[in-house]
Structure 1
Amino acid sequence: MAVPKKKTSNSKRDKRKATWKRKATLQAQKALSMGKSILTGRAEGFIYPQPDAEDEEES
């Protein structure tokens, strides 16, 4: 016969939630930093397509 699982303690639940939020915050900081470095032209470890002069004239 099926037996109900034991209840997870609040501290375990909160710890998992804090870890999940911390990971999201770190990823957001990295994305913002990369975006800023690309806009300033200082990005060295990130390759992205540069618009050609011909493409700008057509637009």
Structure 2
Amino acid sequence: MAVPKKKTSRSKKNIRRKSWERKVSKQVLLALSIGKVFLAKKATSFIFSSSFDV
């Protein structure tokens, strides 16, 4: 017979959300910095196709 799950506490939920947000913010900063390099056309250590035009 199916048994309902216990409710997750607010603190546990906040901890999980904050850890996810920390991971996402690191990825956002990395993507922005790479994007700025490409827009400045100073990319020397990146390999990308020659059809990439900005």
1:44 aligns with: 44
User: Percent identity at matched positions?
Assistant: 49
Larger Cα-atom Rg: 1
Please report the TM-score for the alignment, with normalisation by the length of structure 2: 0.70
Mapping of residues 2-41 of structure 1, within 5 Å: 2-41=2-41
Deviation at 1:44, TM superposition (A): 2.9
| Structure 2 unaligned spans of 5+ | none
How many residue pairs get aligned? The number is 51
Q: Which has the higher contact order (CA 8 A, sep 6+)?
A: 2
| Structure 1 unaligned spans of 5+ | 52-59
The Cα offsets for residues 8-40 of structure 1, whole Å up to 9 and x where unpaired, read as 111110111111111111111101100111222
RMSD of equivalent CA atoms: 1.7
CA distance in 1, matches of 2:42, 2:2: 60
Please report the TM-score for the alignment, with normalisation by the length of structure 1: 0.66
